[in-house]
Chain A
Amino acid sequence: MNFCVCIKQVPDVSAPIQLRGGELAMDAGRVVLNAYDASALEAALVLTEAHGGEIDVVLVGPERASETVRKALAMGATRADHLVVPEGTPLDSAAVATLLAGHLRGRAYDAILTGKQAQDSDAGLAGAMLAEHLGLPYATNAVGLDQDGGALVVTRQADAGQEVIALPTPCLVTCSNDMNDPRIPGLKGIMAAKKKEVVAQPVATVSAPAVTTRGYEALPTRAAGTRLDGEVPDMAADLVARLAGSL
């Protein structure tokens, strides 16, 4: 099966980020491959290693995101497309889905995989928007992915339990990071990545995005509460007395 994995470079959310004057301040150098996309790529690698096929990756982002493209190639993707937008271009989920649809229309992949959301926006929209634009059957929030003949079998995490869904190809699946632990590229992969094909082309967004971010705020904090002390039986009695009526 031939895959295309859509990837994004995002800020490293585990790095220090401060709120200053309603904006987020962070080290611009701390960027990573979106963890959910890494899981999608890992899933494709496992399947192609078992069943054959190739994996293209496509990234929408500024020039400097080329580092993330190389990371995906180092993990084992076959080749890459980088849809280059000018640095600082505001994009929303719809704009990204439109750019990806423009790129993917007319290409014959068996399956398109994306992470279920991006770690910075946590929006979780572009994958299903893309499926709609391309007219593909899709499933979201995959925690398991298998190949069964010509079908892609998705184990989807639903609200109550899991659904096992067989999708005909071509199809699109958005992936949870609960699916796997993405491999860390070794030296061999890193060296090989330097020789793999990357087609970078500038793309323009047609219009200003409908969704914009005006600024940022801190999460509301809960006030500190009461610490209960004493021996365990007394703490328990004290707590139950205080909760009476709520339970």
Chain B
Amino acid sequence: MPTILSVVAVQGGAPTRTSLEVLTRCREIAAARGWTLAAAIVAPDAGTAADEAARFGAATVYTASVPDGALNPPVVAALAAIVERADAAIVAFPSSEATKEVLGALAARTGAAVLPDVASFDATEGGVTARRPVMAAKFLAVAEATAPRVLVSVRAGSYAGAPADAPSTPETIAVDVPAAETRQTLREIVAATTGGAVDLSEATVVVAAGRGVKDAEGKRLVEELAAATGAAIGASRAVVESGLFPATAQIGQTGKVVSPEVYFAVGISGAIQHTAGMSNSRVVVAINRDADAPIHQTATYSLVGDLYQILPALTAEIRRAKGLA
């Protein structure tokens, strides 16, 4: 019986939201095809990930340990060892910079085909079919991988995560990682300093700043709205390039993909390279004084006006509603 293996990323001691979305999708495919659902955890510390994998229905949980701050060699080695041990026909990952760092090398090592950064995927007779953004995220390509083993990475918010009807009691297999020579050295980690400690990719509320946010005052208003709503702060490429916001805040085709419940697009025009990163948001609130900005055409709620006036009013209103005033 073929195995579909879902790689679960761990952050802050728990599986990431995108990982659980992907695990849910893998469970659906396994159920539809009568395949085995397995989960893979490669981390210094699995935290609650193994329990969550059980709650989401994995029949087998493979674990491998890598040191804290590990660079790509031990991670590729650990994933390769698990993929071979599980003899997985399909291996699905949450798409992230961490996944992008290892996906190509893992594919070459295990002889697998790859469909990266997909918006949707399904198993086929000979492999996997998927839809993925191409041409600087202007279109979806219908891609097919025909191979006995296919790696797939899935964009955040592509699927809803849901635990299994009944939790499984999985077999847990700890896989030994062959020694991986790391020839490169990590010299420094430069932590991002965005206002707010919420991880953008995991956030349920995002406040994103665009070109309309022109200065430190505008940034302050964005930060206050984010604080009032418990939001993570994102940014368009323009304000990252201007230096107002850090690169880790960038949302869009070459930045992060976010999928919050509520996305506040503040002073953002709505160019495709940006919307590619937030199109899975459930509710979009556009605040832009240009009534013709494309973002207004697809926002759930559209506020045409000066963000320097709207944001303080909105923040005050939210604080009042939450009893925080």
Contacts and interface: CB of A to CB of B under 8 A. Distances in A.
Q: Do A and B come from one complex?
A: yes
Interface of A: 11, 13-14, 17, 19, 24, 92-94, 97, 116, 119-129, 131-133, 137-141, 143, 153, 155, 157-168, 171, 176-178, 210-228, 232-233, 235-237, 239-240, 242-244, 246-247
Interface in B83-127: 96-98, 100-105, 107-109, 113-117, 127
A167 to B, nearest CB: 5
B144 interface: yes
A124 B302 contact: no
A14 B253 CA distance: 14
Contact of B117 (A122, A128, A166, A226): A122
B42 to A, nearest CB: 15
A219 B143 contact: no
Interface in B269-325: 272, 276, 279, 282-285, 296-305, 309-310, 313-314, 316-318, 321-322
Contacts of B55: none
A232 B253 CA distance: 32
Contacts of A157: 97, 247-248
Contacts, number: 251
Contacts of B142: 213-217
B135 interface: yes
A226 B187 contact: no
Given A161-B192, A213-B142, 18 more contacts: A13-B135, A17-B139, A124-B117, A132-B76, A132-B105, A141-B101, A163-B186, A163-B189, A164-B187, A165-B187, A212-B143, A219-B133, A227-B296, A228-B302, A235-B303, A239-B317, A246-B205, A247-B205
Given A128-B102, A159-B97, A167 B140 contact: no
Contact of A122 (B133, B145, B147, B318): B133
A32 to B, nearest CB: 12
Contact of A125 (B109, B114, B147, B205): B114
A122 B192 contact: no
13 contacts: A24-B135, A92-B113, A119-B135, A124-B100, A162-B190, A162-B247, A168-B183, A210-B127, A214-B142, A217-B142, A219-B139, A226-B302, A247-B229
A246 B183 CA distance: 48
Given A94-B113, A125-B116, A225-B298, A240 B318 contact: yes
Contacts of A224: 297-298
Contacts of B98: 158-159
B318 A247 contact: yes
Interface string B244-285: 000110000110100001100000000010001001001111
